[in-house]
Structure 1
Amino acid sequence: MDWKNQFSPLDVTTSDTLPDLMLSYLGSWSAINMIGPDKKSYLQGQVTCNVVTLTNEQSTLGAHCDAKGKVWSVFRLFHHNDGYALFQPASAIDVELAELKKYAIFSKVEITASQDVALGVMGNEAQNWVDSLTDSRADVRPITGGSAVKISEKRWLLLVNQDQAEIIINEFSSSKVTEATWTRFDIEEALPVVTAQVQNEYIPQALNLQAIGGICFTKGCYTGQETVARAKYRGINKRMMAVVKGNLAEELPSAEPIVLERSVGENWRTAGELLTHYTFKDNVAIGLVVLPNDLEDGTQLRLAIQPDTRWTIEPLPYSLADE
């Protein structure tokens, strides 16, 4: 049996309890690998997070921007094999790889698209299951064939070679679910997802990276740093990433942008495009979207392609208040 075909959709309503242990093949996710003597210094000058202080047992969110501070990639960075891995949506890899390699000719560093397989372990028992793989109890752990990385209390990423991925999948005896469940966790945890569709559109603060440890304001210069600093110290950022929720009149199309509109008096205006979304069995959906950060409480939203729907802005699981 093809190991990629062992995963089934998990059809649950908004009130259903999730299985205690789930495994998913994250086919729409990948990573960029970086190795070489200059990997730390080179990456430090390219991204918003602090690479120098990142230990082997930690991961961090971060962004890579253009010179104007617009985001090419939002990634999770961690030590992997003999270098770094920047885990991110696979659709963003080609453009991000080209941008990240622009000045690499001047450094002893090799930057390549990863050939590893991404698996997601989820549920109340995810931690215990990962603990069974290794004696390490760190948030980033070397395991056979690659690395295990803690995303949240109920979620771990496994980035491993294909042979090990096949072994893990074939031996896994609990629920094997499609990556839609991983997407649900991303939305509920309000972790930004930047696919090719929205590359080079937003500054990091519009994606809430300052609130989730993805920006270091004391690390020194990197590409786009001036814009990121102005957004913090001069208050020029007028956007935020929100979790939204609403009803559906019919299934959302998978291959085209999903636009939300917001109510303005008796009229409706374009509010933003969903970065990602997840649909429950009871015709309710959730998603992530970048909105103006000064919207009034209770602002109504709707799907542009389904104008009879009504969506609301949900509370974030973290604070956007500036420390």
Structure 2
Amino acid sequence: MDWQNRFAPLSLSTTDALPELALSHLTSWGAINMIGDDKKSYLSGQVTCDVVSLKESDSTLGAHCDAKGKVWSVFRLFHHNGGYAMFQPKSAIAVELAEIKKYAIFSKVDISESEDVALGVIGSKATLFVDQLSDSTEDVRQITGGTAIKIDEQRWLLLVNAENAAQLVDNFEGKLIDESLWTRLDIEAGLPVLTAHQQNEHIPQALNVQALDGISFTKGCYTGQETVARAKYRGMNKRAMFIVSGQSNNNPEANAELERAVGDNWRGAGKLLTSYQFSDNKTIGLVVLPNNLENETQLRLKDAPDSLWKIEPLPYSLEDE
């Protein structure tokens, strides 16, 4: 597929504007598809979000946990090809697929890894571009070959079959870029990116899923619910996901460890979920840290002690309503 080789890195400094229209091949992202008569009831009993009330015009974040409330997957859920799609980092899918299918034998449901291609439309003209693909004005739209899903005011996800992905790329009139800018925008939006590195380590609230409307505290039972509820009503959660930034000669690998200053000493703080480096060497990332840290707490990369980092403001509140 020659179209897959047409996406180039886009180098941006902290002062450069975003392109007005760009298309990214999200190679490290994929989806799990769920179809069948019992898809709604089965999925509702597995995940934190409100599946039953999800309209075909909307998407929602959600998490899938083990019985102890530790997260296997954080995903974006939406209606897709007559069923549901759970969009998430591709590296998490192998384990998540096995876990989400554990009890499917008792239900009329078919669960599989999607073969669709994930494309990201980015920029101030992203919605204008998607408007040309469908007559709908909703946030989730059926398009030729798949589904278009609004992420925010300057981003849309297209989950489509390979044939239509090739056509979209061939006819695209904006920039064709790699997925790094999509990662940057996820970080700046404070959207959790849970890869295989940190599966089954955190409860949903440590990944801010509740602050992004990905947990329903009024729906029926689901796996891990007891822990999730205790974390909310008994204040048992002691961690949260933060945006951090620092100067770095190289973009740190996922799971790179950050340390925090404690007096004159340094102690382990958390591991990067993902990161993005600007061309002027400023680097931003997402990391789960103790939720009682002061905003002024000094951080550093354990493997690069001279690389000092700090906590940045989130674009949403972590306070319970």
The TM-score bracket by the shorter chain reads over 0.9
Shift of 1:189: 0.2
Secondary structure at the residue paired with 2:15? coil
**What do residues 253-310 of structure 1 show as CA deviations (whole Å, max 9, x unaligned)?**
54x6311111000011111100000000001100000000001230000111111111
Secondary structure at the residue paired with 2:96? helix
Distance 2:195 2:299 in 1: 23
Match of 2:227 in 1: 227
Match of 2:72 in 1: 72
**Contact 2:255/2:274 (CA < 8 Å) preserved in 1?**
no
Match of 1:212 in 2: 212
Match of 2:7 in 1: 7
**What do residues 189-231 of structure 1 show as CA deviations (whole Å, max 9, x unaligned)?**
0000110110000000000011001000000210000000000
Match of 1:299 in 2: 297
Matches within 5 A, 1:245-264: 245-248=245-248, 250-254=249-253, 257-264=255-262
Match of 2:315 in 1: 317
**Contact 2:243/2:285 (CA < 8 Å) preserved in 1?**
yes
**Contact 2:7/2:24 (CA < 8 Å) preserved in 1?**
yes
**Contact 2:80/2:146 (CA < 8 Å) preserved in 1?**
yes
Match of 1:128 in 2: 128
Structure 1 residues 179 and 316: CA distance shift in structure 2, 3 A: same
Secondary structure at the residue paired with 1:216? coil
**What do residues 232-256 of structure 1 show as CA deviations (whole Å, max 9, x unaligned)?**
00000000000000001x21354x6
Secondary structure at the residue paired with 2:292? coil
Q: Does 1:17 align with 2:43?
A: no
Shift of 1:82: 1.0
Match of 1:91 in 2: 91
Aligned residue pairs: how many?
321
**Contact 2:251/2:283 (CA < 8 Å) preserved in 1?**
no
Secondary structure at the residue paired with 1:96? helix
Matches within 5 A, 1:261-300: 261-300=259-298
**What do residues 46-97 of structure 1 show as CA deviations (whole Å, max 9, x unaligned)?**
0000000001101000000000000000000000011000000000001000
Match of 1:236 in 2: 236
Match of 1:141 in 2: 141
Distance 1:185 1:252 in 2: 16
- The residue type equivalent to 1:150 in the other structure is K
Alignment TM-score, normalising by the size of structure 1: 0.98
Distance 1:304 1:96 in 2: 30
Structure 1 residues 50 and 124: CA distance shift in structure 2, 3 A: same
Distance 1:151 1:311 in 2: 28
Point out where structure 2 has 5 or more consecutive residues left out of the alignment. Answer: none
**Contact 2:251/2:276 (CA < 8 Å) preserved in 1?**
no
Distance 1:184 1:76 in 2: 17
Alignment TM-score, normalising by the size of structure 2: 0.99
Match of 1:155 in 2: 155
Distance 1:251 1:59 in 2: 35
Point out where structure 1 has 5 or more consecutive residues left out of the alignment. Answer: none
Report the RMSD for the aligned CA atoms in angstroms.
Answer: 0.9
Secondary structure at the residue paired with 2:185? helix
Distance 1:309 1:282 in 2: 14
Identity of aligned residues (%): 67
Shift of 1:18: 1.1
Match of 1:50 in 2: 50
Shift of 1:29: 0.3
Structure 1 residues 316 and 253: CA distance shift in structure 2, 3 A: closer
Distance 1:189 1:283 in 2: 20
Secondary structure at the residue paired with 1:169? helix
Secondary structure at the residue paired with 2:168? helix
Q: Which consecutive segments of 4 or more residues in structure 1 shift more than 4 A?
A: none
Shift of 1:141: 0.2
Secondary structure at the residue paired with 1:263? strand
Secondary structure at the residue paired with 2:72? strand
